[in-house]
Amino acid sequence: MTSADLHAAESNRATGQRTPPDVAAAERRTPLDVAAAERRTPLDVAAAERRTMVDSQLRTVGVLDEAVLGAMYTVPREDFMPAALRGLAYADATIEVASGRWLLEPMTLALLVQHAQVKRGERALVVGSATGYSAAVLAHIGLHVTALENDPALVAMATSAGVTSVSGPLEQGWPAAAPYDVILFEGAIETIPAGIAAQLAPGGRVAAVVRSDGVGRASAGPLISGGRIGGAPFLEVAAKPLPGFAAPRQFVF
């Protein structure tokens, strides 16, 4: 190819015109290449979206625990969405799965689990487990998970996705399977009821977004005096509140 040909090719690429090599490459596509592209299934698309979620939403904010990353790459988040919202499964946002009930955004969940330093074989309670996604992630890591939910429709959705939930008031926890090494709240809370605090095993950790003065702060660690999570919060997030965990209002006369 002469210098004039090279100049013409570069000019064509700059203007969006296909060059002879481009045409030749397109013509070399075999029927097998075309068929492979056409055979790309919704499962292939979802797997690609999960990979993008892990690489662009999780690794970039410091999620480095390979067990957490592996679980969130493997568990199909779209299976835990209402049918109309499956296309939003990997959005970097909280998702409303029922009236007033939300799933934590993937980044927040991954950071909470990582900071809680969960370990295979531990017992975990997910409070307000909704459609069961967080419980499925913990189970994939190797924890023995109790998923507590009080909305029958959400329990049914979790069951259809392969997660068995227990049903009861969220504020009471689930003492039947206590004590727990990890207690995770699927939503922002202002207070941890004493009854749930009592279900934490010695050395256990609580992972939650704690709201104070209108700001949600992700925290994970042991409980200290006053039912507070020990250690400094590691992230401010806009998680939606989990009903039933508002702090008692104090009146000033």
Global confidence as pTM: 0.83
What distance in Å separates the CA atoms of residue 44 and residue 89, rounded to the nearest whole number? 14
Which CATH number fits the domain 42-237, given the four candidates 3.50.50.60, 2.60.40.10, 3.40.50.150, 3.40.20.10? 3.40.50.150
Provide the residue type at 137 as one letter: V
Rg, the chain, Cα only? 24
Q: Specify the pLDDT at position 152.
A: 97
What residues have CB less than 8 Å from 192, skipping those under 6 apart?
Answer: 206, 208, 223, 227, 228, 229, 245
pLDDT (tens place) for every residue of the chain, 253 residues total: 444 443 444 444 344 454 454 445 555 666 555 454 455 677 889 999 999 999 999 999 999 999 999 999 999 999 999 999 999 999 999 999 999 999 999 999 999 999 999 999 999 999 999 999 999 999 999 999 999 999 999 999 999 999 999 999 999 999 999 999 999 999 999 999 999 999 999 999 999 999 999 899 999 999 998 889 998 999 999 999 999 999 987 655 5
Long-range contacts of 210-213 (CB under 8 A, 24+ apart): 211/239, 211/241
Backbone φ and ψ of 29, nearest 5°: -60, 125
Sheet containing 123-127, strands listed edge to edge, beginning at the edge strand earlier in sequence: 165-167, 144-149, 123-127, 180-189, 200-212, 215-221, 235-237
Provide the residue type at 225 as one letter: S
Q: Specify the pLDDT at position 250.
A: 67
Domain chopping of the chain, boundaries: 42-237
Q: Specify the pLDDT at position 18.
A: 47
What distance in Å separates the CA atoms of residue 47 and residue 45, rounded to the nearest whole number? 5
Question: Which residues does residue 145 pair with via DSSP β-bridges, in sequence order?
Answer: 124
Considering only CA atoms, which of 225, 133, 234 is closest in space to residue 184?
A: 133
Considering only CA atoms, which of 161, 99, 102, 169 is closest in space to residue 135?
A: 161
Is 101 in a helix, a strand, or coil?
A: strand
Chain-centroid distance, C-alpha 147: 15
